[in-house]
Amino acid sequence: MKSEHSECMIVIEHSARGRNDEREENGMPEQAAGGGHRAAPVHTDPDEVPLLTALSALADPVRIQLIRELAGSADWTRSCGSFDVPVGKAALSHHFSVLRGAGLVEQRDQGSKRVNRLRRGEFEARFPGLLDLLLRSDDAGSADNTG
């Protein structure tokens, strides 16, 4: 009976090792393939984003704040938890998901943190001038601006 158990353990170990080897062969790190604590983020190519999707993503004050803070930071230096926004973790995750879906933000896992970069060049190529208008310091596009 002991030998049957040993054979079973060998088969299980071999099977698990095969899946990990397969993931590595396909260029997927173990964490991104489901071996980590969360799935890798999905990114939308800005060339595939309709104008209404981009405008909708930019219509929320929290997302505007995230974009403005990212625009003032070097790529990959801001983790999701480093933004001072008035929402909880779940809502923040949703806002980043919307920004990724609009082709505005790219994220990657770096250790235990998820870091971000503004896809300024790619988004600018798709929607020339839209980010510049959003990032203007005079806030000329604001509905609150009466002057």
Task: Give me the domains of the chain, ranges plus CATH numbers.
Answer: 1-39 (no CATH), 41-139 (1.10.10.10)
Contacts of 98 (CB under 8 A, 6+ apart): 56, 57, 60, 63
pLDDT value of residue 137:
77
* Residue scoring higher pLDDT (48 or 34): 48
As a whole number of angstroms, the longest Cα–Cα distance in the chain is 85
Of the pLDDT bands very low, low, confident and very high (cuts 50, 70, 90), residue 114 is: very high
Average pLDDT over residues 21-32: 45
Q: How far apart are CA 11 and CA 137, in angstroms?
A: 63
pLDDT value of residue 38:
79
CB-count exposure of residue 98 (10 Å: 0-12, 13-18, 19+): buried
**Would you say the pTM of this structure is higher than 0.75?**
no
